[in-house]
């Protein structure tokens, strides 16, 4: 795992304008870490999806709820954690079963499919005080 000094943390209110801000932060990290274009494209798309999901589905665009984004890295890996303040416990097993029966072009669940296909590892944690998604990509 990354050293504690090799991390960047963002906190913002639930507003979709911050999705673009996070993409700009990632663009800096992409250059800083020397991530190739193909991997950078996949990471950015997954990042946009997870942040949009936190704002729209987790926090339901309630502006007083926060989204927390943490980038951690080391020589080999980039870790991205996105947490919302959704008070409801999300059943990701149920969502995963539903996704297996749906068309990839359907509106619901497409972001989760993208995250799982574009990142090397995706972990979903739902605690009742917020939902956290941790994504990992070898760089």
Average model confidence (pLDDT) across the chain:
89
As a CATH number, domain 7-138 is: 3.30.565.10
Angstrom CA distances, 81 to 16, 23, 34, 137, stand at 17, 14, 20, 12
The pair of structure tokens assigned to 133 is: 């998604």
DSSP state of 61: T
The domain locations on the chain are: 7-138
The pair of structure tokens assigned to 117 is: 């296909």
- Please state the rounded mean pLDDT for residues 6-19: 97
Q: pLDDT tier at 2 (50, 70, 90 boundaries)?
A: very low
User: pLDDT tens digits, residue range 102-134?
Assistant: 655 555 567 888 899 999 999 999 887 899 999
The pair of structure tokens assigned to 130 is: 């917020």
How would you classify the pairing of strands 131-138 and 121-126?
A: antiparallel
CA–CA dist 133, 113 (Å, integer): 13
Prediction pTM value: 0.88
* Strand, helix or coil for residue 91: coil
Q: Is 116 exposed, middle or buried (0-12, 13-18, 19+ CB in 10 A)?
A: middle
- Please state the rounded mean pLDDT for residues 54-58: 94
User: pLDDT tens digits, residue range 57-107?
Assistant: 999 999 999 999 999 999 899 999 999 999 887 777 777 677 666 655 555
CA–CA dist 54, 88 (Å, integer): 13
- Confidence at residue 130, expressed as pLDDT on a 0 to 100 scale: 94
Partners of residue 12 on adjacent β-strands: 67
């Amino acid at each position: 795992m990354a050293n504690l000094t090799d991390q960047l943390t963002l906190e913002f209110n639930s507003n979709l304008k911050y999705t673009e801000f996070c993409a700009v932060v990632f663009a800096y990290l992409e250059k800083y870490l020397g991530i190739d274009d193909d991997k950078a494209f996949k990471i950015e798309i997954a990042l946009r999806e997870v942040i949009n999901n936190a704002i729209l589905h987790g926090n339901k665009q309630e502006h007083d709820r926060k989204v927390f984004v943490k980038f951690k890295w080391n020589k080999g890996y980039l870790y991205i954690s996105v947490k919302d303040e959704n008070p409801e416990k999300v059943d990701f097993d149920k969502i995963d079963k539903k996704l297996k029966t749906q068309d990839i072009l359907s509106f619901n669940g497409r972001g989760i499919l993208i995250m799982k296909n574009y990142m090397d590892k995706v972990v979903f944690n739902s605690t009742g005080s917020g939902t956290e998604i941790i994504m990992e990509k070898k760089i």
